[in-house]
Amino acid sequence: MVLNSYAFASMISALISGGTAVFVWRKHGRGPAAGPLISFMLAATLWSFFYALELAVTSVPLKILFAQIEYLGITSTAPMAFVMVNEYINRERWKGARRFLLLGIIPFIVNVAVLTNAFHGLFWADIIPLQIDSFVVLKVKYGPFFWLNTGYAYLLLLWGTWQLGRVAAREGTLRRAQAGVMLAGILLPWLGNFLYVFGKNPFPGLDLTPFCFTLTGLAFAWGLFRLNLFNLLPVARSAVIENMPDGVIVLDAGDQVMDVNPAARKTLGVESTEIVGQLADVVFSKYFPLPVSVRQMPETLTEVMSSRLAETQYFNVLVTPLKNRNRQITGRIITLHNATLLKRAEIRLRASQQQLETQNAELRKFSRAVEQSGSTIVITDLNGVIEFVNPMFTQITGFLPEEAIGHTPAILKSGKHGPELYQEMWRVISGGGVWQGELINKKKNGEFYWEAVTISPVKDAAGKITHYLAIKDDITRRKEMEMDLAQARDEALEASRLKSQLLANVSHDMRSPLGSILGFTEMLQQGIYGAMSARQYEILTKVIQSTEQLLNFLNNLINQAQIESGKIVLNARLFPPEDVFDSVQSTAAALAQAKNLVITNRIEPDTRPFVYGDPYWIRQIVSNLISNAVKFTEQGAIDVYIFKPDSTHWAIQVKDTGIGIPEEAQSHVFESFWQVDGGITKKQSSGSGLGLSIVKQLVTLMNGEISLASRVNQGATFTITLPLIADAGETK
């Protein structure tokens, strides 16, 4: 073995390749494309190493053996470079074990051909040892399999070169640098090999290819660590940008549009050809409403509203300056993020928040109203268990909210109402109705109080009862007043009853002595107790008149008392009209007689045989009217006339020839204790003022009517009209 300069150079190359492989493996063992790069470097190492050995030995068979081993590396380098390029440009379809095997078919055949060359000479047709200076190289003539290998390797390298060239031409600065490094790495062995194969080698007999491959490995390794060769995959990145939903617009340092991704094109509504090369501000003023020029845009998210589209859309715009190592701005990236959905959600959220706030305000209002209500408010669940009481509840009952909530309103039960009341209450409210009533309840301190209660069911939107609401007012004071009133009323009724009773007794007790006075006076006048002088007779007549007046007054007082106490029960029936005059004439007769007045009775035949009414009270009416007539008549006649004004009524008319009643007084004559004012009237009459009032009240009770026709000094005519048959009011 001779260590010549060729062998030495080869060995150095092997060391560099091997070292690079180890270095890559240690620094970048799991990174992208590390496998192919390490494999590539190992293949170059193998090649260089055995080439060094081939050059070092002098024995031709040994040289051939080493050359054969070399081919394991030689045939691997080009496919490995191919895989690396694919990794770089991210050609997915060239990844995976099957592709890898496919790539290895030709290298395998070539290796077999190399190893078996002694038998067929199809790889090396002829091998001639050639002495160069102090060492021997093999000069060979190539067979078809050699060309197969070379062609295959060239094909792969050519393809890689072309791909890298495309990337270098198309992509940005970084990518261009990366692609350049890779291109250089891949072109070098090609050059070396070309020189060797085609005999243009400046070092005769020395194959430069393994050296070139070592340089390739170095270039790749440098690119890997300096230029992040495999970290940013341009196609992936480009795919991301192409497919991302956000619009991306790239500007150069002069704010000219360099690139637009599809999302941005869609947002602006333009084709990239329309705007690439144009000034960004011109483009935006046409297609998208940026608030300020691109340079003035802050480097933060800016919200922009665009109404250029059918419906208003919202965008978050971010302008990011791109800077080089020297902090100079070399361009800008504008991203347009369509935030419409988010914005709309935000608007909806704000609207619903506003609505919530309004509702809250309403709720607060209701809540305060309930809290501060002057009525007690209780809310229970469906079982009547208290869920809420307002402060008034505590104020009235003495039960704190925590003492009431969880219990039923039965804590207030006074025991003064029977179970039927509560059953009825439940029946009503559980049926969806409103129950109202007055309850006597018991406070915490045992005191009883009255409440006016309204309980209503609270229904949900579906009409299902969810709660019951009770609104209650303390009516204890009112109840006490009512009870006082009721008591007062009872007392008044009792007093009235006693008054009536007293009057009845007085009446009875006065009538008997009055009877005696009247009877004895009459007998005296009659001369039963001896002859009377004219003067004595006259005096006795005055006694009788006074007695009659007293009696009349007594009757009216009693009648009035009976009317007032509602004691009068009309006993209406059919009776002969003549009965009206029974016992009437006698009382008024004496008075009339004394005044020389004539009382006449007339009955229309068509009122016979019967008229209708309570004869007792009708006589009372007629008696009062005749007394009234006699009282105000000094001379002439009093006519009582019974007739039928129509088929369903009968009437009694009492007509006098007296002083009459002034028109202005006519409406008052039926009022109690009222008398026509004036000296003459006073002197001439001494009525109680009850007579006509009683007449009016009795006639009204009988569903009749009374009318008065009179003129001063031309007499008065009272007409009473009564129904001939019972009407509804009376049959009751």
Partner 1 sequence: MSTAPQLEKPLALIVEDDIAQAGIFEQALQMADFETQIITDGQAALDILQTITPSLVVLDLHLPNVSGEEILRAIRAEPRLAGVRVMLATANPLAAESLRKLSDLVLLKPISFHQLRDMAIRLRP
- Judged by the rule CB under 8 A, the positions of this chain that interact with partner 1 are 504, 507-508, 511-512, 514-520, 522-523, 526, 528, 547, 551, 571, 583, 586, 590, 616
Smallest separation, CB 515 to partner 1 (Å): 3
- Which of 532/590 has CB closer to partner 1? 590
- Which of 659/702 has CB closer to partner 1? 702
Smallest separation, CB 663 to partner 1 (Å): 36
Smallest separation, CB 567 to partner 1 (Å): 9
DSSP-derived 3-state class of residue 162: helix
Smallest separation, CB 716 to partner 1 (Å): 27
CB atoms within 10 A of CB 259: 16
In angstroms, the CA 215 to CA 153 distance is: 17
- Which of 453/694 has CB closer to partner 1? 694
- Which of 144/519 has CB closer to partner 1? 519
Chain centre distance of CA 10:
87
- Which of 528/680 has CB closer to partner 1? 528
CB 291 within 8 A of CB 302: yes
CB 378 within 8 A of CB 472: yes
| Residue indicated by tokens 């003495």 | 398
Report which secondary-structure segment, H or E, holds 15. Answer: helix 5-28
- Which of 5/571 has CB closer to partner 1? 571
CB 145 within 8 A of CB 123: yes
Smallest separation, CB 526 to partner 1 (Å): 7
Smallest separation, CB 625 to partner 1 (Å): 18
- Which of 242/509 has CB closer to partner 1? 509
- Which of 8/529 has CB closer to partner 1? 529
CB 673 within 8 A of CB 659: no
In angstroms, the CA 266 to CA 237 distance is: 20
DSSP-derived 3-state class of residue 705: strand
Smallest separation, CB 524 to partner 1 (Å): 10
Helix crossing, 34-56 with 5-28: angle to 10°? 160
Three-state SS letters, 625-678: HHHHHHHHCCCCEEEEEEEEEECCEEEEEEECCCCCCCHHHHCCCCCCCCCCCC
Smallest separation, CB 600 to partner 1 (Å): 19
In angstroms, the CA 554 to CA 487 distance is: 31
470 φ/ψ angles, rounded to the nearest 5 degrees: -115, 130
Dihedral sign (CA 179, 181, 184, 189): negative
CA distances from 491 to 27, 231, 326, 482, 484 (A): 118, 112, 115, 14, 10
Closest CA to 429 of 484, 366, 363, 378: 378
- Which of 170/508 has CB closer to partner 1? 508
- Which of 125/506 has CB closer to partner 1? 506
In angstroms, the CA 193 to CA 199 distance is: 10
Smallest separation, CB 497 to partner 1 (Å): 15
- Which of 376/559 has CB closer to partner 1? 559
Smallest separation, CB 630 to partner 1 (Å): 16
Smallest separation, CB 621 to partner 1 (Å): 13
Give 605's DSSP letter: G
User: What is the number of alpha carbons within 13 Å of residue 336 lying toward its C-beta?
Assistant: 26
Smallest separation, CB 513 to partner 1 (Å): 8
Chain centre distance of CA 329:
54
